[in-house]
Structure 1
Amino acid sequence: MSDGSADPAIDGEGADPGTDEVVLRTDRLLLRPWRVEDAAVQRELWLERDPRVPPHRRIDADGHPTLEDLEEWIRTHPPGRTGLLAVERRTGGEVIGYCGLVDSGRGAEDEPELAFELLRREWGQGYATEASLAVLDWARTSGHVRLWATVREWNTASRRVLAKVGFVETDRVEPDDVHGRTIFTTRLL
């Protein structure tokens, strides 16, 4: 069983020499920048999303984003101080989702939001918790003091993961009668 500990490596094994790519390692996972060939996994995530997820985060009636759209997004959005990293199993090398930090603008200055999503077939194996703990370590070593995470009230699995990694629900809630209320959680590092 993994303790979820991470060894954040910058310019380390798995990163392109001469870059400052972030590569995080845990017992079972490698979190790394997206590669164009990972676009198919991104599209699968879009296709699997719960119908209660707002439409702008699902495949639209015209089939967008397409595989080509996602490939272009990967090419034009290199990771920086924040970003969503591909979550890859160290054994076998399959990409199973993403985890990382996003500047959503919902928190205070320099307080990014933790975000994660895994393919349904990977749920229930502790990968989201393990990846989130690695990202929390990365955030701490990057100088962040507090993180946010938002979650739909109906998303009990993600709420459990957030609680396991130390996020607490706040009184801040965004009502949404169509897609379900959004709960704001926070965690001091």
Structure 2
Amino acid sequence: MTIVAQSLKDRLPATIRTARLVLATPTLAHVPDMAVLANNKAIHAMLSRLPHPYGQSDGRDFVENIARGDTEFAWAIEWDGAFIGTVGLHILPEKLPELGYWLGEPFWGKGFATEAANAVVAAARAAGATALRSRALKHNIASRNVLKKAGFVETGEAIEPDHNLAGKTMTLMRLEFDPR
């Protein structure tokens, strides 16, 4: 009998429940709210890969092709049954998984990003990740604080090479899990 090693993605849960949130597989039912919330210049200005303007076709593409694609494992963030944002891991060969997220602006400052990030960190650890990475714009203190509350430490700075934030200074962050 041959034993095949499972990938990290295969070991991550499809759904995660926290005190206030449900992190679930993104579906087409999320697209209308996703399109409204993501079509925001303030969010676009902070994210490397989010298009603007953001319409329902972008949301459908995210759900159908990106959210659980070859290099992504994303969850829709739901609060009281409503879609409020996404959180996920960007998983590339030869690199640590990268935690990323966004919340609709009406939900900023309520602890939802920290709660979602902590849940994904715990899931990644339980699935066997040894460390995670993340990054935020240097001037995005709120996002850097979310990541610090989830256990990340700042490790340096880099200039974003491409996409929406090309040329901007990013704060690089890393979270090492203690060996069990």
The alpha-carbon deviation at position 100 of structure 1 amounts to: 1.5
* 2:15 partner SS: strand
Is 1:93 the counterpart of 2:81? The answer is yes
Instruction: Kindly report which structure 2 residues correspond to 1:5-44, keeping only aligned pairs within 5 A, or say none.
Output: 22-44=14-36
Counterpart Cα distance in 2 of 1:53 and 1:112: 20
Q: Supply the RMSD in Å over aligned alpha carbons.
A: 2.7
Structure 1 CA distance, aligned partners of 2:15 and 2:47? 31
Question: Normalising to structure 1: TM-score of the pair?
Answer: 0.74
Choose which of 57, 70, 77 in structure 1 pairs with 2:59.
Answer: 70
The alpha-carbon distance between structure 1 residues 157 and 78, as it changes in their structure 2 partners (threshold 3 A), is closer
Q: Across the two proteins, how many residue pairs are aligned to each other?
A: 161
Change (3 A) 1:144 1:69: same
1:165 Cα deviation after fit: 1.1
SS state at 1:57 partner: coil
Q: Does 1:83 align with 2:68?
A: no
One-letter identity of the residue aligned with 2:158: V
What is the TM-score normalised by the length of structure 2? 0.77
Cα distance, 1:54 vs. partner? 6.9
- For the residues of structure 2 that align with 1:82 and 1:54, how far apart are their CA atoms? 16
**Structure 2 letter corresponding to 1:79:** R
- Indicate the percent of aligned positions where both proteins have the same amino acid: 28
Structure 1 gap ranges (5+): 1-19
> How much does 1:55 deviate?
8.1
The answer to whether the 8 A contact 1:53-1:179 is kept is: no
**Counterparts in 2 of 1:139 and 1:82: CA distance versus 1, 3 Å:** farther
Cα 1:66–1:27 shift into 2, 3 Å: same
Report what 2:52 is aligned to. Answer: 59
The amino acid of 1:58's aligned partner reads P
Deviation at 1:24, TM superposition (A): 0.3
